[in-house]
């Protein structure tokens, strides 16, 4: 059970880091993907990371 919880925490943090990277990439001039695509990507990664972290916290508290 603890390995599953660790996987949820790890993937959640990676998703949040990807969302932060996309948010920072929007500030760079000349970055290829248009800003609306980066906003969608950042929102999706942030939401996924939040959900996975919440699942990890719930599983950790049930342990």
Which pLDDT does position 9 carry in this prediction?
A: 95
Single pTM value for the model: 0.86
Query: Would you give per-residue pLDDT tens digits along the chain (63 residues)?
Result: 689 999 999 999 999 999 999 999 988 888 788 899 999 999 999 999 999 999 999 999 997
Q: Which of 61, 62, 56 is nearest to 6 (CA)?
A: 56
Q: Where do we find the tokens 């695509």?
A: 37
Q: Cα–Cα distances in Å, from 36 out to 8, 25, 33, 42, 56?
A: 28, 12, 8, 10, 30
Full domain range(s) for residue 8: 1-62
Q: How many domains does the chain have?
A: 1
Structure tokens at 21: 């990277």
């Amino acid at each position: 059970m603890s390995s599953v919880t660790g996987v949820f925490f790890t993937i959640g943090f990676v998703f949040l880091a990807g969302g932060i990277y996309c948010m920072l990439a929007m500030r760079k001039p000349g970055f290829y993907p248009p800003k609306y695509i980066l906003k969608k990507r950042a929102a999706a990664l942030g939401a996924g990371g939040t959900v996975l972290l919440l699942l990890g916290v719930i599983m950790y508290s049930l342990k």
